Amino acid sequence: MSEHEKNTTEKSAVSTKTMDFVVALMFLALGGVVMWDSSRLGSKWGSDGPEAGYFPFYIGLFLCVAAAVNAARAYLGRDLKAASFVSTTALKMVFSVLLPTIFYVLLIDGVGPIPGLGIYVPSVLFIAAFMRWLGRYKWLMAAVVSVGVVVVFFLMFEIWFKVPLPKGPLEAALGLN
C-alpha cells in the first residue's frame, strides 16, 4: 500500500483488482473478435502462402492468451485486493466532464429523430456551460467568450481554410450553409 493510500480517507469506487480483471476480459473479447473475423477471411496456410487472415488470427490468439493470463492473475491475485483504482470523488470529477461531452457530441449530429444542431451552436452551449459550471464565471463572461471562440473558429475553418464543418438549422436560417 502506498503512502498516499494510507493517508487518504476517500471511499474507493472500484478496486485495482476489479479493473485489471475487467480490462483483461475486454482484451480477451477483442482478441476473440479478431480471431473470428480472421477465420472468416481465411486464416490457414494456402497453397500460395498465408491467407488474408493468417497473421491477424495469430495476433488475436496471442492477445487472447495474454488477456487470459492477466485475467487469471487479477482474479487469483491477493496483492491488489485492497488497492483503490479510483476514489468516488475522482470518478465524479471524470463523469462531470465525460457526460456533458457525450451530450455535446450527440447534439452536433443529432440522436434518432432529433436533428443535429451542427457544431457551432452546441459549441457555444458547451463552452458557456463549462465556464459557468466548472469555472464559476459570470454568465455574461461565459456568453462573450463562448460566442467569441465559436466566431473565431467559424472564420478560421469556414472562411480561411475552406473546411466545412457540420452546420445546423441556425446556420441554414442565417444563410451560412
CA separation for the pair 34, 25 (Å, rounded) = 14
Q: 68 Cβ partners below 8 Å, 6+ apart?
A: 24, 28
pLDDT at 174 > cutoff 50 = yes
Kindly tell me the sign of the dihedral angle through the C-alpha atoms of 76, 79, 85, 88: positive
**What are the structural domain ranges in the chain?**
2-82, 88-174
Query: Would you state the pLDDT for residue 143?
Result: 97
78-123 confidence digits (pLDDT tens): 765 568 889 999 999 999 999 999 999 999 998 878 789 999 999 9
Q: Would you state the cell numbers that stand for residue 84, as one nine-digit string? A: 483503490
Per DSSP, which regions of the chain are E strands?
Answer: 12-15, 45-46, 49-50, 84-87, 110-111, 114-115
What amino acid is encoded at 7 in this protein? N
* Cα angle, residue 91 at apex, residues 138 and 139 outer, rounded to 5°: 10
Grade residue 149 by pLDDT with cuts at 50, 70 and 90: very high
Q: Could you tell me how far CA 47 lies from the centroid of its own chain?
A: 43
